[in-house]
Structure 1
């Protein structure tokens, strides 16, 4: 069973998929929309990917504040997660995504991706970090601090 990772934003959704064994996450695409509330095509594309990759579970980033509070963005993500659960019938796990976009940006800079090109990749890379964090947690991988 593959797991799908999603980084839900106001105009984009970054998508990542696990390998069949649930060990690694790979970025698939960034789904774009013109308006935050126009989700029909976004959901349809996610459903296509679920079918194509035989996804059995969804991990959706939960953008909490640094003090662990739930703000407007997190509430919108939870609503989106509930909509996905109803539409797909799959379990949707909300996963703390704090600093994944910062980490994605850093990765793109380190790999010398031009500033104007980073926007194309950042949400997909953030989805990879969200999903990989969940996969590592499920596998019991110990994440060590690097000081």
Structure 2
């Protein structure tokens, strides 16, 4: 039977390029003693709070800070890519994928805003979904959805 080590890194242990270098070394060292190593990471330090704050603002119609959020995400992740990925082609591919994820997030926010505006104009209840199955964004629209509860 093969042995597997699962390692989880989060917060400050993945918060900067230097921290990531340390995590990489820990993983390399573990691979010497384990047949399989599975690595799980959470967001870089500060990113989760940035995303949660931005989502809360956007859900209230406050989208002025979103470009700054995008810029901050790019800066943090591009700096890590620049410091850690020596192969230029791979580094640029990684940055392209980071951009794609940021654009996806922007598209989700815009789609959510359009959905809520069209519901508001057509359904007479202010764009607030009345039933859980009416809302495609359960969880991200908690401040206004009548059906949202912490268990969703």
TM-score bin (small chain):
under 0.3
TM-score, scaled to structure 1: 0.27
More strand by share: 1
